[in-house]
Amino acid sequence: MTQTITIPANKKQLIFQDKPGSHTIILEPNAEIEYIMSFKDAPVESQETASSKSIIQFELKGDNSKARIYGLFAGKNHDQVKFETRTIHSGNSTTAHTNVRTLLRDEAKSDYFGLIRIEKHTTGNDGQLSHDTMLLSKQAKSKSVPALEIEANDVKAGHSASVGQVDEEALFYLRSRGLDEQQARELMIEGFFEEMLMQISDTQIANDLRESLKKSLT
């Protein structure tokens, strides 16, 4: 079931989603949302009962509305996460920046679809999305589809995505500074999320997330 939340005009709100589920966020003029997601799907017994997908949709209906969206996902063992973000710009001069980072070890799996949609006859909209994935084991699997549907030309729209493992050169650098391999690796993995945690305005949430991500990584 999808839950709908409306952010009223000229209001700012922060939402932290820590469980899977579908939500629709509607933004009125000048409304702002900071949306933080970090969850994994409930364990599935077999392939037949595959978990349903969490769809988080942002409708930037009001002019000058803004959305900052952060997704931080860490999976281990047989963890799975299947989710979709949609930012739909139907107002003018709206901004939505989505940043998603996924770190997978063991046999963890991630399936992500991230859509930026800019509606016809709108102007001055700005939609950006990035999705970076770090795979720490051979059996980890990642599927990522960053999509664009652009119906207006006065836009700034783009996305980027990357998939890789711990950067060997950075690892070498850290080891040359006296860290052992294990320490250097841990530091790199923490750093992968730290860049995003630093941008979260609520330090309490950022600290809690830092702790829980750490836990789910070891």
Burial class (CB in 10 A: 0-12, 13-18, 19+), 203: exposed
Does position 147 interact with another protein (CB under 8 A)? The reply is yes
Going by C-alpha positions, the residue among 143, 141, 118, 139 that lies closest to residue 128 is: 118
Cβ proximity to another protein: between 157 and 213 the closer is: 157
Q: Is 30 in the site for another protein (CB under 8 A)?
A: no
Looking at 2, 165, 201, 203, which residue binds another protein (CB under 8 A)? 165
Find the part of the chain contacting another protein (CB under 8 A) among 6-14, 139-147, 198-206, 209-217. Answer: 139-147
By CB under 8 A, residue 55 contacts another protein: no
3-class secondary-structure state, position 5: strand
The residue ranges of DSSP E strands in the chain, in sequence order, are 2-7, 12-17, 22-27, 32-37, 54-60, 66-75, 80-89, 95-104, 109-118, 125-135, 141-150, 155-164
| Residues 55, 74: Cα–Cα separation, whole Å | 18
CB of 192 to another protein, least distance (A): 14
Q: Which of 56, 136 has the CB closer to another protein?
A: 136
Binding residue for another protein, selected from 69, 74, 88, 157, defined by CB under 8 A: 157
Binding residues (CB under 8 A) for another protein: these are 120-121, 133, 135-165
